[in-house]
Amino acid sequence: MTSSSGYGQIDNLTVGYDGNRIISVSDAASNVSYAFSHDFKNYTNQSTEYTYDGNGNMTKDLNRGISSVTYNLLNLPSQLEIKSPVGEARNDYVYGTDGAKLRVVHNWNPSYSSSPVIGSGVTSSSLSRSETTDYTGNYVYVDNSLKRVLTENGYIEDNAYYYYVKDHLGSVRVTANSSGVSRQSLNYYPFGMQFGDASGSDIQPYKYVGKEYDGMHGLNLYDSQARLYDPALGRFMTMDPLSEKYYSWSTYGYCMNNPVRFIDSNGVITDVTDKNVGDIFDKKFNSSTIIPTERKYKGNFSAHVIDEYNLLNNNCTTVVVDALTEAGTTLFNTTRQIINRTTGDVFQVKVRERPVVPVFLRNYLNTSSITTNRLIYKTK
């Protein structure tokens, strides 16, 4: 990408693969002078810059300076070490048995080297500073003090209310106080990387598609619940837990490579959300008023239960099609040719298809265009 104002290329990437796995990335664009920018960082040039464990989880990202990642039994990161020109740190993560994140401890060296040996481990004794963030429902604590209370439309901090202005994907574009004054303004590239023109970027961390962004020490990753997401590459760090449902797509890719039309609300399932369709499912399942009572989102008021249907599941394709049709879509309207066997005349007859196989539905959606003013973000 280039800027019309003459700043030159941001990124010009060449990606090396081993199957579906990225093993190297090189950037032909000049380095951005601001060390804490959100663009792709090319801290090293080696034949193998990314490594993985036996479960397909990324254990090293030398371009970013991540020297080690260890995972728990749920393939969620339990510890991550990063050593780069913008920081030397170790993050420790704690989860519930359902995979919900409960705590993150950031440990860092306040006197880090701006020219470290990339790939070398952190020195534990030098990590003299730390910050602990605890997540208890919609309450967020930092070092045992209440930091903010998350609400459905924003958050409360220091007895003040703040509100989000979101786009059709659910990405936070503006954070405003109760007087309507903007405290934070954000813009994004299609896969979620932030523009450099942000104001108040550090005011609050919930950004692209409403996900929490961790930019400390140059990490620059989104927490998508089931997986960590890299917006500079449009890739997850681990395989999709439901990869068998997306057999024709990379297990690391984001939203089937179409982040304008699709969203990934939890790092697992790609959703197609349309306001009219959403309203129909809300009515069908009374989902707008139901709060989960079990499993990962138990008691979370912002995780309204919507349909459990997924466009790639065999047992739900017709339900999704019927909802789309009821919402007024013309997606399935087509014509068929009928031949009079006696005269040989050919007639064009208008019909409405009703796909029953997931791949057929996906093909219809991939060739359709959904106007953005009707899109909404739905949490699962």
Q: What is the mean pLDDT of residues 259-279?
A: 70
How would residue 380 be classed by pLDDT, with cut points 50, 70 and 90? very low
Q: Inform me whether the pLDDT recorded for 312 exceeds 70.
A: no
- Domain identity same for 228 and 286: no
Residue 140: predicted pLDDT: 97
Residue 363: predicted pLDDT: 63
251 within some domain = no
Q: What is the mean pLDDT of residues 273-281?
A: 58
- Structural domains counted in the chain: 2
Say which range, 143-147, 152-156, 203-207, 281-285, has the weakest mean pLDDT.
Answer: 281-285
Q: Strand (E) positions, 247-343?
A: 263-264, 270-271, 333-339
Spatial separation of the C-alpha atoms in residues 92 and 77, rounded to whole Å: 8
Residue 198: predicted pLDDT: 81
Portion of the chain with pLDDT greater than 90, in percent: 51
What is the DSSP track for 174-243?
EEEETTS-EEEE--B-TTSPBPTT-BSTTS-SB-GGG-EEE-GGG--EEE-SSSEEETTTTEESS--TTG
Q: Inform me whether the pLDDT recorded for 279 exceeds 60.
A: yes
Q: Please give the single-letter amino acid code of residue 368.
A: S
Give 328: exposed, middle or buried? Use CB within 10 Å, 0-12, 13-18, 19+.
exposed
291 within some domain = yes
Q: What is the mean pLDDT of residues 17-23?
A: 94
47 within some domain = yes
Q: Inform me whether the pLDDT recorded for 300 exceeds 70.
A: no
Residue 309: predicted pLDDT: 42
208 within some domain = yes
| Cβ atoms 77, 71 nearer than 8 A | yes
Q: Could you say which of 240, 257, 286 is where a domain stops?
A: 240
Average pLDDT of the residues of the chain: 82
- Domain identity same for 23 and 117: yes
Q: Could you say which of 240, 263, 282 is where a domain stops?
A: 240
How would residue 275 be classed by pLDDT, with cut points 50, 70 and 90? low
pTM: predicted TM-score of the whole model, two decimal places: 0.74
Higher pLDDT, residue 361 or 182: 182
Residue 125: predicted pLDDT: 93
- Domain identity same for 204 and 313: no
| Cβ atoms 186, 202 nearer than 8 A | no
- Domain identity same for 233 and 332: no
Residue 263: predicted pLDDT: 82
Residue 351: predicted pLDDT: 72
Tens-place pLDDT, residues 327-374: 666 767 777 777 777 777 777 777 777 666 666 666 666 555 443 333
Q: What is the mean pLDDT of residues 274-279?
A: 58
Domain range for 27 is 13-240
| Cβ atoms 48, 23 nearer than 8 A | yes
100 within some domain = yes
Higher pLDDT, residue 95 or 199: 95
Q: Inform me whether the pLDDT recorded for 239 exceeds 80.
A: yes
- Domain identity same for 280 and 236: no
246 within some domain = no
How would residue 278 be classed by pLDDT, with cut points 50, 70 and 90? low
Q: Which residues pair with 25 in a beta bridge?
A: 15
Q: What is the mean pLDDT of residues 178-189?
A: 94
Spatial separation of the C-alpha atoms in residues 271 and 132, rounded to whole Å: 33
- Domain identity same for 49 and 197: yes
- Domain identity same for 77 and 136: yes
Higher pLDDT, residue 215 or 349: 215
Tens-place pLDDT, residues 57-88: 999 999 999 999 999 999 999 999 999 999 99
Q: What is the mean pLDDT of residues 207-223?
A: 94
Q: What is the mean pLDDT of residues 204-215?
A: 94
- Domain identity same for 58 and 194: yes
Spatial separation of the C-alpha atoms in residues 348 and 338, rounded to whole Å: 6
- Domain identity same for 279 and 209: no
In 3D, which of 96, 59, 103, 113 has the Cα closest to residue 81?
59
79 within some domain = yes
**Residues 98, 100, 105: CA angle, nearest 5 degrees:** 130
- Domain identity same for 52 and 152: yes
Higher pLDDT, residue 295 or 29: 29
Residue 320: predicted pLDDT: 67
| Cβ atoms 220, 231 nearer than 8 A | yes
- Domain identity same for 305 and 202: no
| Cβ atoms 175, 160 nearer than 8 A | no
Spatial separation of the C-alpha atoms in residues 102 and 227, rounded to whole Å: 15
Residue 5: predicted pLDDT: 58
- Domain identity same for 95 and 161: yes
CB-facing half-sphere around the CA of 16: CA atoms within 13 A: 13
Tens-place pLDDT, residues 117-158: 998 889 999 999 999 999 999 999 999 999 999 998 999 999
Spatial separation of the C-alpha atoms in residues 220 and 189, rounded to whole Å: 14
Residue 264: predicted pLDDT: 83
Q: Could you say which of 217, 240, 263 is where a domain stops?
A: 240
Helices marked H in 208-342 — which ranges? 275-285, 317-326
Maximum distance among all alpha carbons in the chain? 90
266 within some domain = no
